Amino acid sequence: MPVESQPPSARRLLSADAPPHWTADVLGGVRHGFFGRRGGVSAGIYASLNAGTGSNDDAAASRENRRRIAAAFGAPLERLIGVHQVHSPTAVSVSGPWTGERPHADALVTATPGLVISVLTADCTPVLLADADAGVVAAAHAGWKGAVGGVLERTLALMQQHGAAPERIAAAIGPCIHQPSYEVGPEFEHRFREENAGYSRFFAPGRDGRFQFDLPGFCADRLAAAGIRRIETLPLDTYALEDALFSHRRSVHRNEDDYGRNCAAIAL
């Protein structure tokens, strides 16, 4: 699917001049978008829609990129909300712009209309969730550490505190590194197998005794085990789609000093 276009079945959910993005059918009419690296103003390795305020990109450029993402939802920049991501299982509730430092967390839940909650990724899994009937949405950043640690389960629990129900929650797994691109060592596979022997099914044999890890499959399994039945995984590999998406692993392999961040956002 080209980054510039929506899948044929998707309804236009954001403004007509929104930067290129993908949507997930499972989220229905809930406004959301998975934004990649096109449609912004950054240059060089950050070209062009780098949404990462923690990167070494020009601050004015990343701010303008984030303004464009917020504007796609019809919101001002200050209502595009994120957290200081630390690969943790922590999920937080938010009802308005932060008044001080952003909390150290990896997922946000809101029931406040017009608030655009978001996570940044560059190979880790962005997961957008919604219970449209209850009026509750969430955005989670699930790298392997966060996924094993329970960030998705914590997010679901917090959504339920706001009135969501597992049988109504829909989850969309956005662009992340996929199994053909995610080579790991035997110690990584062993760590998962020690946690749960059944997790070996997410590893395929690789070269020279190494493995290929299925991160989106692992996240989908955690969601399903928590009672979520409507799950959609977008077939978008951050490492492979270099013209469309930022990738931390690709930047390391190219000996680049830094990397841009993709943005996943959702709002009531």
**Helix, strand and coil percent figures for the chain, each rounded to 5:** 30, 25, 45
184 pLDDT above the threshold of 50:
yes
The rounded Cα 260 to chain-centroid distance in angstroms is: 14
Task: Give CATH superfamily name and number for 22-178+214-267.
Answer: CNF1/YfiH-like putative cysteine hydrolases (3.60.140.10)
Structure tokens at 122: 């560059």
- % of the chain beyond a pLDDT of 90: 95
Measure the CA–CA gap between 124 and 246, rounded to whole angstroms: 11
- For residue 218, which amino acid is it? F
Measure the CA–CA gap between 55 and 67, rounded to whole angstroms: 16
Q: Give 215-251 pLDDT, tens digit per residue.
A: 999 999 999 999 999 999 999 999 999 999 999 999 9
Q: Give 109-142 pLDDT, tens digit per residue.
A: 999 999 999 999 999 999 999 999 999 999 999 9
Q: Is the pTM of this model over 0.85?
A: yes
The angle subtended at Cα 263 by Cα 257 and Cα 268, nearest 5°, is 165
